[in-house]
Amino acid sequence: MQEFLQQVLSGIASGGIYASLALALVLIYNAMGLVNFAQGEMAMFATFLAFTLIGRGMDYWIALPLTIAIAFVGGIVIQRVVIRPVERAPVLTLVIVTLGLATLINGLAGFFFGYLPRLFPSPFSVQTIDIFGAAASWQDLGVIAVSGVVLVLVFLMLQRTTVGLAMRAAAHNPEASRLLGIRVSWMLALGWGLASAVGAVSGIMVAPILYLEPNMMQTVIIYAFAAAVLGGIESPLGAVIGGLIVGVTVNLAGTYLPGVGGDLQLAVAFAIIIAVLVIRPNGLLGRRAMRRA
Amino acid sequence: MRFVGRAPRRYWLIALGVIVFAGLPTQVTSFQSLEWAEVLIFAIVIMGLNLLVGYSGQISLGHGAFMAVGAYTTAILVHRYHVDYLLTIPIAGLLTGLVGFFLGIPALRLSPLYLALATFALAVITPSLIKRPENLTQGTQGILLAPQQPPDWASSLFAGVTGGPAMTSDQWLYYLCFIVAAALFWVAWNIVRRRPGRALMAIRDGEVAAAASGVNVAGYKTLAFGLSAFYAGVAGALYALATGFVSPDTFPVSLSFQLLVGAVIGGLGSIAGPLFGGIFTFWLPIISSQFVQTQDWIPDQVASVFKNAGPAVTYGALLILIMIFAPNGLVGLILSAYARLRSRLRGVGERTTGQLPPDPQTI
Amino acid sequence: MALLELDGVRAGYGQTRVLHGVSMSVGDGDVVALLGANGAGKTTTLRAITGGVRWDGIINFGGRSLRRATTEAIVRMGIAHVPEGRGVLTELTVEENLRLGAYLRRDGGGVAKDYDRVFGYFPILRERRKLSASTLSGGEQQMLALARALLMRPKLLLLDEPSLGLAPLVVRSIFEIIRAVNESDRVAVLLVEQNARIALELSSRAYVLEVGRVAVEGESATLKNQESVRRSYLGY
């Protein structure tokens, strides 16, 4: 029972990481009906920036918000430079462009930072405290806290601010939004910035666990895909719930199912994606399956 | 002779292409013909990908994984069960096609994005999956195959025609790939010209309209995906035979990306495109990692980017630039340049082919 | 000088031409009706004004050319366009829709007053302000769209078939409110309508479009009483 609780807790911690990246995917999906295959690589690159800043002696708690800010600007720049020229192109073109972006960022990271796996510092100690008889590590609790704060901030921004309102309007109905004077294209860019920032958090949170290297996010993005599909690809709340479910399920499957250890945990994510497609394509909270068929 | 004289220009081009590729091994070394065999193998997968992406408007990021299925089918059958290697090629194709078919059933009912997601996930987990049944796949170690020797008739035919030494194993494998590629290109050409091709393109250009005019949308999409996987499976089988070695690391995620890049660069929705795509997919990594280093005229800084970043940067940048500036790929560029030239010479325009699907959303 | 001027405006979708040279003008504080059969180009005219369709010719608003302006910029100049189908954002709540109407406003006090005013016109919206806009009936959505447009404090209001699909009583009250707003704020109105009778009652001038051209123009009171115009263009 103790082990079970422990596994659930660390599953929630991973789930928070997947939820952040899944939320980033959902933000861009909502803005332009597109799955951003470069989301993980963007997060990875931001994590390398944080790594560099910390390596230069910057305090972790200054480097974290600074990196998020840089990622935000970077997301906007990417939308303006790379995505906007094909904004009105078929979704297939957009998908291919994001794949190109993923490959490009991966290669650039290899060029600037090398392929050597690096130990990323964690501000949280590896010591444990006792919660209901389970030994919870500060590391897990810290990840849960940071992811939780970030997710709440994003929700507040989207739901309570005028900019958030305009972003939602632009995503749902660009034509009507233009007639209200909303600069739709900039709202899409803001969406990219926000997604990039949220994704960066997931990268920085996962790096101490996985070792930092250019391919670090390749597995995480699969879990995030599973989370987003499970939650309903257009529902931000669904992404968070999906992320937590995927995190806990994968962790438990890895612990209790024979043969599903290590890299095969990823197959659980794949199975979740396929199962959702077969059983409930709209996901848990999605109102309809992907548009722009 | 009058018939030949009146044959459309593209038949001349096809004839030229066949002659060039058939004569290639007589002009290059045995090892180089093996490299060109790999070019043809890539061309086959990309042809399959092109049927899917260019003609039916679906997207797969898992064709590297499908190649792995085909390659391992052949490797296991030849190595463990001593099945005749020629026989394993269609078996590998059919098995892979079946895998694609079953993966397509849930994913294809929905938007192309779901297929992209599912196939991407497949591409990521395939290397891990392959490692598991170790007694079958020999795990991370991989399977080594002995080179296939040419049959006597081919060997003597080759020696008779060229008047030189007997055919090497590498040359035989090249011809095997050449024959299979030619056959599969011919099949693809016939599919896209006829009813199934028109149905697929109708689906690509608007599912609702296609369904309304009586096209079985789900059926054709699943069929296209299965067929596309079949091509990848055959290519995988040939790859195992040509290189004589398969391991989980032979089929990383990046392979699937490279294949998609090849399809896009060659030109989606065109029959000649995949050939360019194959050439590109095979030679770009080699050129960007080796060739560039040896060229003095390229500045050191640029060369070191290529060396350290590998082909990924080139691939990524090319993919983006092509989608923005030349969404119809190389073939599209050539055709539009040709059309422009013609219209300047004669004052008439010509229809260009190989269009990406138009966006139903933008009016 | 007229507030809005169109001269020889041609527009269409892709290869299809819809407008073949439309010329018209709307004066400051005027209510102008734009009438015509289905497919005559009424909606396209409005869309051309707010940049929703490619056009050439001349469109000036307040003396400035709209040639190169984006939709957002045109709206920021003071044109509120209630499009065909009302443009209500059904994924948002009623209140959020109204907040978007005031999106461009920076005068907090004025906005608060305007909220009171539109809630005075449409009390039902105050009751339902926490609900999703998708739960509103067609008439209520039309009210929401109009209220949202009024919160924009426009100089010119473009209305595309505000009566479409609504019960006659509701239409009557909506038109009363349009008249009230026009009279109290001197907001100019360009009104596209199928329902010619009620549009001519409200407007001072009217244009009748026929296959992308202005076929008839004049004082509404005159057109209303011209037997021939009524028969051939207005169908009542």
pLDDT tens for each residue of A19-39: 999 999 999 998 888 899 999
pLDDT category of residue B350 using cuts at 50, 70 and 90: very low
**What does the buried/exposed string (b/e) look like for C43-65 if buried means 16 or more CB atoms within 10 Å of the residue's CB?**
bbbbbbbbbbbebebebbbbeee
Cβ contact C89–A177 (<8 Å): yes
Instruction: Assess whether pLDDT exceeds 70 at residue B357.
Output: no
Is the CB of A163 inside 8 Å of chain B's CB atoms?
no
pLDDT at B349: 37
**Domain range A2-122+133-279, its CATH number among 2.60.120, 1.25.40, 2.60.40, 1.10.3470:** 1.10.3470
pLDDT tens for each residue of C6-47: 999 999 887 788 999 999 999 998 999 999 888 889 999 999
Is the CB of C87 inside 8 Å of chain A's CB atoms?
yes
> Which stretches of chain C drop beneath a pLDDT of 50?
none
pLDDT tens for each residue of B162-211: 777 777 888 888 889 999 999 999 998 888 888 888 888 888 877 778 88
Mean of the per-residue pLDDT values of chain B: 81
Mean of the per-residue pLDDT values of chain A: 89
Cβ contact A178–C71 (<8 Å): yes
ipTM more than 0.95?
Answer: no
Cβ contact A181–C83 (<8 Å): no
Q: What CATH number has the domain spanning C4-234?
A: 3.40.50.300
Distance from CA of A115 to the nearest CA of B (A): 9
**What does the buried/exposed string (b/e) look like for A86-108 if buried means 16 or more CB atoms within 10 Å of the residue's CB?**
beebbbbbbbbbbbbbbbbbbbb
Instruction: Assess whether pLDDT exceeds 60 at residue B359.
Output: no
pLDDT category of residue A126 using cuts at 50, 70 and 90: confident
Report domain extents, chain A. 2-122+133-279
Q: Which domains does chain B have, with CATH numbers?
A: 12-346 (1.10.3470)
Is the CB of B182 inside 8 Å of chain A's CB atoms?
no
pLDDT category of residue B291 using cuts at 50, 70 and 90: low
From chain A, the residues in CB contact with C75 under 8 A are 178-181
pLDDT at B306: 63
Q: Would you call C217 helix, strand, or coil by DSSP?
A: strand
Return the higher-pLDDT residue of A278 and A199.
A199
Question: How far apart (Å, rounded) are the C-alpha atoms in residues B170 and B242?
Answer: 7
Q: Would you call A230 helix, strand, or coil by DSSP?
A: helix
**What does the buried/exposed string (b/e) look like for B16-37 if buried means 16 or more CB atoms within 10 Å of the residue's CB?**
eeeeebeebbeeeeeeebbbbb
Report domain extents, chain C. 4-234
pLDDT at B353: 38
Cβ contact A166–C71 (<8 Å): no
Tell which residue, B80, B95, B79, B81, has the closest CA to residue B148.
B79
pLDDT, average across residues A48-58: 95
Chains touching A (at least 3 CB pairs under 8 A) are B, C
pLDDT at B142: 84
pLDDT category of residue B358 using cuts at 50, 70 and 90: very low
pLDDT at A287: 66
pLDDT, average across residues A143-154: 92
